[in-house]
Amino acid sequence: MRRGKITSLALAAALAASLTACGSSTGTSTTTAAGSSEAETTAAVSSAAESSEAETTAAATTAASSKAATTAAGETTGAASGDTTNITLAAAASLKYVFDEQIIPMFEKEHPEIHVDATYDSSGKLQTQIEEGADWDVFFSAGMKQMQALQDEKLMDDSTVNVLLANELVLITPKDSSLGIESVQDITKAGTIAIGDPADVPVGQYTQKTLEDLGLWDSIQDKNISLGTNVTEVLKWVAEGSADCGFVYRTDAIQEEDNVTIVEGLAPATYPVGVIASSKAPDAAKTFEDFLGTDAALEQFQAYGFTLPEESAGTETSSATKTTLAETTAAETTSAS
């Protein structure tokens, strides 16, 4: 009986030890697994956090770069816009085509900091508006008389005035004319003659003087004479056939070569240019005037039929040579005498 009890106690003790060992093993395994899982989770979270932080930093850097680029572009555009200087050219009507089509676009491409507006009319009308205080910067006349008058009134910057171009007074007829006008002597065959108003239009003044010199002015006074306010108007009347003949500049006639015939070249015309004394942007105005004397600009003027003053006198010249107003006036006075 006692032996059986001891055996039972031994078995119970063995069973307890076994259970304790099993529990201890299970606990260790569980702890190890939990520790491993916690480490892996911490590593994953740390890695994700670092990756997210790196991506955020990279994105922020990219955004900052983009913003900087945008700001720089904006500042550049703003500076270009804010620094633009506007000047206004007042030029004879005969200069309109070459300035609008060639010279101004060329200049603004080379000098984006300067914008040029232009107004065109007879030199006499432009002279009057300058005398009345027109807010312009550069005056390009088709006649010496108008420029000299403004200089006498101290309305031009004398140091900038020079004769840059020459043109030629020509007699034209409509392309389909059948009146037999083959020279200036034949203008008595015309019923209607178109000329610029000699009162204030240089082409009209050149016309009157030329016809007086040829002894023809008085002989046409019984004709129907249409007085144009500028050379463009005279050209239009002849081109559309409402005048039998007219007197314009060669450069204008070339623009309407499909509608008019140049009958004869008659007299040279000189074109002085200068900065107006009251200009609010004299430096920009002078920059523009200087550009007009460059080889590139002179080539365009010549392509439109203009010549250089020295060339019209039968001598060669270069873009570096400019004839002053005083020299040209003296030469004309000597020639006339």
CA–CA separation, 316 vs 209, rounded Å?
27
Predicted confidence at residue 198, as pLDDT, reads 93
In a domain, 71, yes or no: no
Tokens of 4: 């059986």
In a domain, 180, yes or no: yes
Tokens of 83: 């620094």
Buried b or exposed e, range 29-47, using 16+ CB within 10 angstroms = eeeeeeeeeeeeeeeeeee
Contact criterion met (CB below 8 Å) for 128 and 200: yes
Contact criterion met (CB below 8 Å) for 275 and 138: yes
Predicted confidence at residue 267, as pLDDT, reads 92
Predicted confidence at residue 305, as pLDDT, reads 92
Predicted confidence at residue 106, as pLDDT, reads 98
Written as tens digits, the pLDDT of the chain (337 aa) is: 444 444 444 444 444 444 444 444 444 443 443 344 444 444 443 444 444 444 444 444 444 444 333 333 333 333 334 689 999 999 999 999 999 999 999 999 999 999 999 999 999 999 999 999 999 999 999 999 999 999 999 999 999 999 999 999 999 999 999 999 999 999 999 999 999 999 989 899 999 999 999 999 999 999 999 999 999 999 999 999 999 999 999 999 998 999 999 999 999 999 999 999 999 999 999 999 999 999 999 999 999 999 998 755 443 333 333 444 444 444 343 333 3
Tokens of 2: 């006692």
Predicted confidence at residue 200, as pLDDT, reads 86
Nearest to 139 by CA among 121, 112, 153: 121
In a domain, 35, yes or no: no
Map residue 237 onto helix, strand or coil. helix
Predicted confidence at residue 31, as pLDDT, reads 40
Q: Which amino acid, residue 114?
A: I
The angle at the Cα of 97, spanning 94 to 103, to the nearest 5 degrees, equals: 110
Work out how many domains the chain is built from and give that number: 1
In a domain, 232, yes or no: yes
**Between the CA atoms of 269, 229, 226 and 166, what dihedral angle is there, to the nearest 10 degrees?**
10
In a domain, 11, yes or no: no
Residue keyed to tokens 């209607």: 192
Tokens of 22: 């099993």
CA–CA separation, 181 vs 171, rounded Å?
10
In a domain, 300, yes or no: yes
Predicted confidence at residue 312, as pLDDT, reads 52
Q: Quote the DSSP letter at residue 307.
A: B
Map residue 186 onto helix, strand or coil. helix
Nearest to 260 by CA among 172, 334, 185: 172
CA–CA separation, 111 vs 234, rounded Å?
35
Which secondary-structure segment (H or E) carries 247? strand 245-249
The domain containing residue 266 runs over which residues? Answer: 85-336
In a domain, 282, yes or no: yes
Q: Is the dihedral of CA 35, 38, 43, 44 positive or negative?
A: positive
In a domain, 30, yes or no: no
**CATH code of the domain containing 309:** 3.40.190.10
